[in-house]
Chains A and B, each alone.
Chain A
Amino acid sequence: MATTAMPPTDEDTTGAPGSEEPATLPPDWDAILALHTALTALAGLVVTVLWGATGAGYYWPVWVWFGLGLPLALHATVRFACLAPAGRTRGLAIHAGVTGVIAVALVALWGLTSGPTFWPAWPILSLAAFLALHGIIHLYLNRVNSPERERRLVERVDELTRTRRGALDVQAAELRRIERDLHDGAQARLVALSMHLGRAEAKLDDRPEVAEMVRQAKGEASAAIAELRDLARGIAPPILADRGLEEAIAALGRRAAMPVVVDVELKRRQPPVVESAAYFIVAEGLTNAAKHAAGGGTTARVRVAEEIGRLVVEIADDGPGGADPEGTGLTGLRHRAEALDGTLSVESAPGTGTLVRAELPCVP
């Protein structure tokens, strides 16, 4: 088994999975505390019985209780203080717990020795002052970002970014797989169905009513094929996977219902999830431009460029403008961009055309 680097652990965890030593369970602190309590109680009971059996005068076992109880109280206090998260907080909790136990012990001692003055006052006050000072320092340090806390936050953000990106990559791969499966599976079967129906129809010249039924069946098959084709194009356009973003956008420009100037300069292929987002942003942008075009005369311009660490996608048109940035279409595009940690902005004052601009980060 390969050795993996052990992450910093707090005292309650042991070997990370995959390390070479056999995994050991953390000690069961609660059971140890319970055992300690039981032994203390047992000892106390034994000496009490002893006291009873030897005359039951002054209850001397109280000193045994005191002497055994103090360590038990410290143990219990430290155990529960350790429930606080590792680090500075735990230190403060232990300090507070121990201070409390000592204070109680001093008062108990004063009670047992029945001294005239309350001598524990000064010790307790100094312990309290010491604890208060610790508490103040703790609060101050928490207000200021300690390097450790910041390091942990940075690590967590990195991890979240990585896993979110991982999830999106998985989704993009899934969509391509679905498109392939549709192509090789359901779509192909429908084509074969259409073929068989066609061959049957060709043999039914003498039965025109039956031929007509077969023709209708073929019509349904064709409709299903067309719908699946549109579906496939909507989730993973073949040309995007086959030829890349530049050609796919050029194809979008040619298909658009208005003249489109395409200006795409890419030196290499982007990750599938970035290509897919850029493609659909352009597709939706052009559809919107065509939808709101003032009856012809609108032209559009698509620009895709690699800048340092990001892909810039712009769709500009000289139509009537006045697009609603909160509309469902544009909001959907913004979500696509933001899912990749990117941004999408819309400038569309009435009368001055529309500019949709997306910035998608990509690894340089």
Chain B
Amino acid sequence: MRAVIAEDHALLREGVVALLRENGVEVVAQAEDGPGLLRIVAGHKPDLAIVDVRLPPTFTDEGVRASIEARQRHPDLAILILSQYVEPVYTAELLAAGASGVGYLLKERVGDVRGFLEAIERVAAGGTALDPEVVAELMQSRDARAGDDALAGLTPREREVLTLMAEGRTNAAIARAMVVTPGAVEKHISNIFGKLDLPGSDDDHRRVLAVLAFLRAGQA
């Protein structure tokens, strides 16, 4: 896998680069600002771009905007946003620009090396990786939406499975995380899809998208 990284904080950038190189990911270029990201994506055509939200020149949401633009120019590019804070608005904008090959993680998740690498592989392969904090917020605002208690009908285990699905994990990964068999996971998923009236599918990723669409439905 060939990746590029856009991060203006040198310490963090070098740490992530070292971690990736130690684990077989080739980092072909690095940038420190939004325009730099667009340049290296155009120049190196990587599989994945890892981008910090807060970049020069504006130090606001430069990373999000540059990422969306990079995807418009290179639709096959997978994006993983790393941020020190979770802002659901940015998640929504990223997903609106195409829900395949998109991730939004808190930077500290990099401390869980295995989890981070799984997320990178998933996103590069066209899946999604949303931070548990992001999913928690999505779930909570879905819970709170007026006149809607669809989620109330789920058992606690089903809720857990739903949360892990929204994070983008594969069935196998969910089974590992919950210490159950993949068969049990499948059963939970078909129950969930029945209760929430979601279109079923054999494709892991399609199902994740269905879950995300459900959670975000009705959001302003």
Query: What residues of chain A have their CB less than 8 Å away from a CB belonging to chain B?
Result: 180, 183-184, 187-192, 194-199, 201-202, 218, 221-222, 225, 229, 232-233, 238-239, 241-243, 247, 250-251, 253-260, 262, 299
Contact = CB atoms under 8 A, between A and B. Distances in A.
B84 A242 contact: no
B22 A198 contact: no
Interface string B143-165: 11111000000000000000000
What class of interface size applies to chain B in its complex with A?
35 or more
Contacts of B22: 199
B9 interface: yes
Given A192-B11, A259-B146, 18 more contacts: A188-B9, A188-B11, A191-B107, A191-B110, A191-B111, A198-B110, A198-B112, A199-B22, A221-B108, A229-B84, A238-B54, A239-B87, A250-B220, A251-B87, A251-B88, A251-B89, A255-B141, A259-B145
17 contacts: A180-B59, A187-B84, A191-B12, A195-B110, A195-B111, A197-B111, A198-B19, A198-B110, A198-B116, A202-B113, A222-B111, A232-B85, A233-B85, A238-B85, A257-B140, A259-B144, A259-B145
Contact of B15 (A195, A238, A255): A195
Nearest to B9: A188
A218 B111 contact: yes
A128 B16 CA distance: 93
Contact of A183 (B84, B114, B144): B84
Nearest to B16: A195
A194 B220 contact: no
A230 to B, nearest CB: 10
A252 to B, nearest CB: 11
Interface in B68-110: 84-85, 87-89, 107-108, 110
Interface of B: 9, 11-12, 15-16, 18-19, 22, 54, 59-61, 84-85, 87-89, 107-108, 110-114, 116, 137, 140-141, 143-147, 219-220
B137 A255 contact: yes
Chain B interface, >50% SS class: helix
A67 B104 CA distance: 97
A242 B60 contact: yes
A254 B112 contact: no
B49 to A, nearest CB: 19
Nearest to B87: A239
A243 B85 CA distance: 15
Given A194-B111, A199-B113, A221-B111, A254 B220 contact: yes
B114 A255 contact: no
Contacts of A195: 12, 15-16, 19, 110-111
A250 B60 CA distance: 18
Contacts of A259: 144-147
B84 A254 contact: no
B85 A229 contact: yes
Contacts, number: 96
Contacts of B16: 195
A199 B220 contact: no
A46 to B, nearest CB: 83
Nearest to A189: B11
Nearest to A194: B111
Contacts of B11: 188-189, 192
Contacts of B84: 183, 187-188, 191, 225, 229
Contacts of B87: 238-239, 251
A222 B220 contact: no
Nearest to A202: B113
B140 A255 contact: yes
Contacts of B15: 192, 195-196
B90 to A, nearest CB: 9
A194 B110 contact: yes
B89 A194 contact: no
B113 A198 contact: yes
A253 B59 CA distance: 25
Nearest to A258: B144
Contacts of A257: 140, 143-144
Of residues B11, B140, B143, B144, which shows the largest number of chain A Cβ atoms within 10 Å of its Cβ?
B144
Of residues B19, B108, B114, which shows the largest number of chain A Cβ atoms within 10 Å of its Cβ?
B108
Contact of B89 (A191, A233, A247): A247
A202 B114 contact: yes
A-B pairs with the 10 shortest C-beta distances? A194-B111, A242-B60, A259-B146, A198-B111, A202-B113, A195-B15, A191-B107, A198-B113, A254-B141, A195-B110
Contacts of A222: 108, 111
Contacts of A198: 19, 110-113, 116
